[in-house]
Amino acid sequence: MDDDLSIVVAGEALVDVTVGAGGELAGHLGGGPYNAARTIGRLGQPVSYLGRLSSDRFGTRLRGALAADGVRLDAVVETGDPTTLAVAELDERGTATYRFYTQGTSAAGLTGPDALGALPDQVSAVCVGTLGLVLEPIATTLEGVVERFSGSALIAVDPNCRPTIIDDPVAYRERLGRIVAFSDVVKVSDQDLEWLNPGVEATEAARLLLEQGAALVLLTRGGEGVTVLVEGAETHVPAPAVDVVDTIGAGDAFFGGFLAWWRREGLRADDLGRSEAVLAATRFACLVAARTCERAGADPPRRRDVDF
Query: Quick one: pLDDT at residue 18?
Result: 82
Give CA–CA dist 80/102, Å, rounded. Answer: 14
Domain span at residue 214? 7-12+32-52+73-78+110-300
Sign of CA dihedral 163, 166, 170, 173: negative
* Stated pTM of the model: 0.94
Report yes or no on 27 lying in a domain. no
Q: Is residue 90 part of a domain?
A: no
Domain harbouring 205, CATH code:
3.40.1190.20
pLDDT value of position 23: 83
Specify the pLDDT at position 98: 81
In a domain? residue 97: no
Count of the separate structural domains present in the chain: 1
Q: How many CB atoms lie within 10 A of CB 35?
A: 30
- pLDDT for 250-305, tens place per residue? 999 999 999 999 999 999 999 999 999 999 999 999 999 999 999 988 899 999 99
Helix or strand or coil: residue 182?
A: coil
